[in-house]
Amino acid sequence: MLQIILDDTRIRDHLFPFAQINSVADIRVGILTLREKWEKMTGRQILLSGEGKVDNKIGQNFTPAVLSANIIPDKNLIDSISKGENYLEQQSLHVLQYPWNIFQFNDRALREDFALLTEGRTSEPLPSTVRVVEPSKIFIEKGARLHHCILNATEGPIYIGKDSQVMEGVLIRGPFALCEGATVKMGAKIYGATTIGPHCVVAGEIKNSVFFGYSNKAHDGYLGDAVIGEWCNLGAGTSNSNVKNNAGQVKVWHQSSGSYIEAGIKCGLLMGDYSRCAINTSFNTGTVVGIGANVFGEGLTPKLIPNFAWGCNQEKYQFDKAIRDIENWKKLKNKEFSSTEIQTLKTIFDRS
């Protein structure tokens, strides 16, 4: 039997700031993370090259296949690998080469994950107060709460996860996913292709964006063509620009090359884990925010805000205060801050 091992040792910096704390395999695109996609499709645990002694976990009946962790798997790819074929020749192969690929590939990934998760299953019934278009493309998991909202799946499927909540007055167009325990607050307007990760809280206007998990955009403001890591918080009224006012190519900081490179016509905010911003923050087109930053200041932000930045003037967060503040945010969602997480952040802080 084949055992998939995902290796991200050479690609972490290419996907800055989204692979500094967790593995590339834990990046969410579509409904699931890359690791979850592999496990769902193969029916087996997926190992990471950096997770202890991988060799001891494989067993005698398994043949290891080491793949780059930034590959987005699909059924054709799984079949090719199982047959021993050269999977790199797959025309359908999608690879996360840059962080902005996360939102660029989210439309396709949402559709594929929706089919994967709902095949052979029956949705929970739609509440009578919910107005829907194309109900056959809408799937509601057990425990989800929806009332007096509008779900339009004409342009793509809509997935409402377990124990999530869609409050009254919300307008949603697919493709869209609301993951387990997440909340969309009253009056929000959400366009495809958008993913709201587990235990996030969102409001305002959102388009073609991905939230990883435990992050908040709980008030009005616009977020478009963006990726928000874990444990982030966007203050009330925060918005990002996703298109230059001359409609030209957006250049975005690329950590691996140490330069700004073109990301396309549209790119908004790319915010790393544990970062947050003040009320009414205006993020420049194609802004990259590192890990653990506290963003505030007048006018448009710089296009690169480094790890553990304090404001926008290149000052650095004091580490003990940064940890204290992150711990406070975790308490709001009834989570503890482990010593392992703190040590990981200390390593990043010391290298920044």
For the stretch 133-153, pLDDT in tens is 999 999 999 999 999 999 999
For the chain, residues with pLDDT lower than 50 are 52-55
Residue 87: predicted pLDDT: 67
Same domain? For 171 and 86 the reply is no
Would you say residue 332 lies in a domain? no
Which CATH number does the domain housing residue 144 bear?
2.160.10.10
End-of-domain residue from the set 214, 235, 262: 214
pLDDT in tens, 247-276: 999 999 999 999 999 999 999 999 999 999
Same domain? For 92 and 10 the reply is yes
Report how far residue 113's alpha carbon sits from residue 226's, in angstroms, rounded to the nearest whole number.
20
Residue 220: predicted pLDDT: 97
Residue 284: predicted pLDDT: 97
End-of-domain residue from the set 214, 230, 262: 214
End-of-domain residue from the set 214, 248, 274: 214
Domain that holds residue 166: 99-214
Residue 84: predicted pLDDT: 74
Angle 190-132-74 from CA coordinates, rounded to 5°: 65
Residue 55: predicted pLDDT: 47
Residue 254: predicted pLDDT: 96
CA distances from 95 to 80, 195, 218, 239 (A): 16, 19, 31, 29
Residue 57: predicted pLDDT: 52
pTM of the model: 0.94
Same domain? For 80 and 60 the reply is yes
Residue 261: predicted pLDDT: 96
Residue 59: predicted pLDDT: 52
Same domain? For 32 and 68 the reply is yes
Would you say residue 164 lies in a domain? yes
Same domain? For 132 and 182 the reply is yes
Residue 230: predicted pLDDT: 97
